[in-house]
Amino acid sequence: MAAQYPVNLVVDGRPCLVVGGGSVARRKVEGLLACGADVTVIAPSVDAAIAALPVRVVARAYEPGDVIGYRLVVAATGDPSVNGTVFDDAEAAGVWVNAADDPARCTFTLPAVARRGQLLVAVSTGGASPAMAAWLRDKIAAGLGEEYEVLLRLLSEARVTIQGSGRPTEDVDWPSVLDSHMLDLIRAGEIGKAREHLEACLSSS
């Protein structure tokens, strides 16, 4: 498979389709809903866990052309033939599509993700081994305490202040700021001192 171009999609309020009604489809639906997507599910039968979610359920088999009008499609039927049809339709319609556990029928793959507030760490193997991606994600996530979420908030506030002053944020020596002892201050509960330290670093850079 060719090298993949990493990107974070904004699906908030966008129509997304999941074809399939089992446990794999449920996980895909939950991931989309967590990001604000407007989700429709098409499947002859749907797990009660999916039916209980805020989605539109179309209780029938997939039909050619069902992908039209959606921004993103996930095929998770467990049937290679159906997933292949969904992939072919989506490709023809210019719609991004992922077929669960079938990298050859994907125009995008889904990484293993760890979230800490707005901080998102994604690990991908390009569909070669989802198990390894999840394993490595868990190892990385174990080292991401709540202090990183606080650090991100402070940096975001500082960035907005810099932009408001008309100064380009690209000129700031962010690596030096991040390599300072800000995390130690945050871990110690000294948020105010961490903010003061950040301001001092930025004023001298």
Buried residues in 152-162 as b, exposed as e (16+ CB within 10 A): ebbbeebeeee
- CA distances (Å), 42 to each of 26, 39, 52, in order? 12, 10, 15
Strands 119-123 and 112-116: antiparallel
Provide the pLDDT confidence category of residue 205 given band limits of 50, 70 and 90.
low
Give residue-wise pLDDT tens across range 65-113: 999 999 999 999 999 999 999 999 999 999 999 998 888 899 999 999 9
| Helix ranges, the chain (H) | 23-34, 48-51, 80-93, 130-141, 146-164, 174-178, 182-187, 191-204
Tokens at 97, concatenated? 């599509």
List all residues 6 or more positions away from 146 whose beta carbon is below 8 Å from its beta carbon: 116
pLDDT at 160 over 80: yes
Ramachandran assignment for 86, one of left (phi > 0), alpha (psi -120 to 50 degrees), beta (any other):
alpha
**Are 154 and 182 within 8 A, CB to CB?**
yes
* pLDDT value of position 171: 82
Give residue-wise pLDDT tens across range 3-46: 899 999 999 999 999 999 999 999 999 999 999 999 999 999 99
The tally of CA atoms less than 13 A away on the side-chain side of residue 109 is 23
Tokens at 118, concatenated? 């707005």
- CA distances (Å), 49 to each of 21, 74, 112, in order? 9, 18, 22
Average per-residue pLDDT in the chain?
94
